[in-house]
Amino acid sequence: MKKFIFPLFFVLTALFLMSCNYSKVIKIEGGALGTYYKVAYIGEEKAAIQHGVDSLLDQINAQFSIFQPTTLVSRLNQGEDLELTEQFQWLFNKSIEVSERTHGAFDITIAPLVEAWGFGKDRVMHLDSMVIDSLKQLVGYQRVHIEGNHLIKENSAIKLNFNAIAKGYAVDQIANYLSGMGYPDCLVDVGGEIVARGSNRGKPWRVGVQVPTHQADDPVETDYVFTIRDKAIATSGNYRNYIEQDGKRFTHIISPFTGGAEVSSLLSVSVIAPDCTTADAYATAFMVLGIEKSMEIIKYDTTLAAYFIYDQAGEYKTVKSDRFPDPIQR
C-alpha cells in the first residue's frame, strides 16, 4: 500500500505547481498610437503574445494615425479615393452611431478644426474667428458616408480624425486577440483606456480614476479605486493635452457646435461601457456636452455610467451617475 503513496504525492504536487504556473499574472508593455500600452493576462506565458499585440497595434496605427502621411486616413484626407478596409468601415460606422446618439457632440469630421487649433500633426495654431467660421462648414458627420467600399465626402476638403475613438478600439482588439489565444482573463490599458475581461484569479480587476493634474507632465495619481469585470472604462480630460499661447491654455477638446476649444469647469469624464470603443467615444462627447446633458443620455442608455470631475472655486468636486461603481473602502 505504501508504495503508491509517494508517486501519488508527487503527481498531486506536480499538478498543483502546474496549476500555480497557469494562474500567474503575465504582464507586457510597450508603445503604440502615440502613447503606452500595458497588458496583464492570466495563464501560461507565451513569447508570441507580445509580438501579436504589437502587430495588431501596428495594423491599427497604419489605418487611423493622422501623424503619418502614408496611413489610410491620412491618404483619404489628402483626397485619394481608396478602397476601405473592414476595420475602417466598422469604426467609421460606430463613430456615426455615437454621433447620432450624442446629437453631434462626437464627430470624426472635426479634423480641420483640430488642426487649426494646433492639435494635429504640426502642433501649430492658425486661428481667428473667420478661420473658425470657414472651417465649421467642413464639419458635420452627416457630410460623409460610405458607398460600397469607398468614402464619399460632401466636400473634398473634409477630413477625418479618429483620435477620440481609436485607442478604445485598439483596447478591444487586443482583448479579443487574447481571448482568441486562450486568455479570457485579461486587463488591457492603452493610454488610460481600459477593458477588464474575466477575473484576476477569481477576483474582479481593480482600476482607478486619475486625479486631474495642473500641468501635463505632473505625476499621475489615482483616486476612486473600484472593481470592474467584463466592462471597459475610458477617460477624457482637458488637463493632459493642451496648448498654451499668450498666457492662455487651449484644450484639445474641440466643440463641433462652436468650433472652439472647450473652456469649462468640467475637468474630466470617465465612462464605463460594455466595450472600450464605446466608452472612449462617449467620454469625449460628454466633455463637450457637460454634466447635465450627459446625464440625460445616461438616463436613457442603461449600458453607460460616468464619473465627472469638475472645478468649483479652485477645488475639485465630483459627481457620478447611476450604475457607476462605488469605491473600494480602504
Whether 60 contacts 173, CB under 8 Å: yes
Do 248 and 211 reside in the same domain of the chain?
A: yes
Do 234 and 319 reside in the same domain of the chain?
A: yes
Whether 267 contacts 239, CB under 8 Å: yes
Domain boundary among 174, 199, 224: 199
The C-alpha cell that represents 238 in the structure block:
482637458
> What count of other Cβ atoms lies within 10 Å of the Cβ of residue 154?
14
Is residue 9 very low, low, confident or very high in pLDDT (cuts 50, 70, 90)? very low
Residue 237 in domain: yes
pTM of the model: 0.88
Write down the residue that cell numbers 498610437 correspond to.
33
Least trusted range by pLDDT, from 3-12, 183-192, 201-210: 3-12
**pLDDT for residue 314:** 81
Residue 275 in domain: yes
**pLDDT for residue 195:** 98
Do 211 and 327 reside in the same domain of the chain?
A: yes
Distance, in Å, from the CA atom of 330 to the CA atom of 139, rounded to the nearest integer, reads: 47
Do 226 and 330 reside in the same domain of the chain?
A: yes
Least trusted range by pLDDT, from 2-16, 17-31, 134-148: 2-16
Do 184 and 224 reside in the same domain of the chain?
A: no
pLDDT, tens only, 278-317: 999 999 999 999 999 999 999 999 999 999 998 888 888 9
Do 147 and 223 reside in the same domain of the chain?
A: no
Helix, strand, coil content of the chain in percent (nearest 5): 35, 25, 35
Distance, in Å, from the CA atom of 260 to the CA atom of 22, rounded to the nearest integer, reads: 52
Is residue 131 very low, low, confident or very high in pLDDT (cuts 50, 70, 90)? confident
> What is the DSSP annotation of 111-139?
HHHHHHTT-SSS------HHHHHHHHTT-
Do 122 and 51 reside in the same domain of the chain?
A: no
pLDDT, tens only, 67-121: 999 999 999 999 999 999 999 999 999 999 999 999 999 999 999 998 888 776 6
Q: Are strands 186-190 and 193-197 parallel, antiparallel or unpaired?
A: antiparallel
pLDDT, tens only, 227-259: 999 999 999 987 654 555 554 555 668 889 988
Number of domains in the chain: 3
Q: Would the pLDDT of 12 be above 60?
A: no
Do 209 and 300 reside in the same domain of the chain?
A: yes
Interaxial angle between packed helices 291-300 and 276-289, expressed in degrees from 0 to 180 and rounded to the nearest 10: 140
What residues are paired with 290 via a beta bridge?
Answer: none
The domain that holds 135 is classified in CATH as 1.10.3980.10
- Domain extent, residue 193, equals 24-66+163-199
Alpha-helical runs (H) found in 144-261: 166-180
The CB-side HSE value for 239 (13 A sphere, CA atoms) comes to 21
85, burial (CB in 10 Å: exposed 0-12, middle 13-18, buried 19+): middle
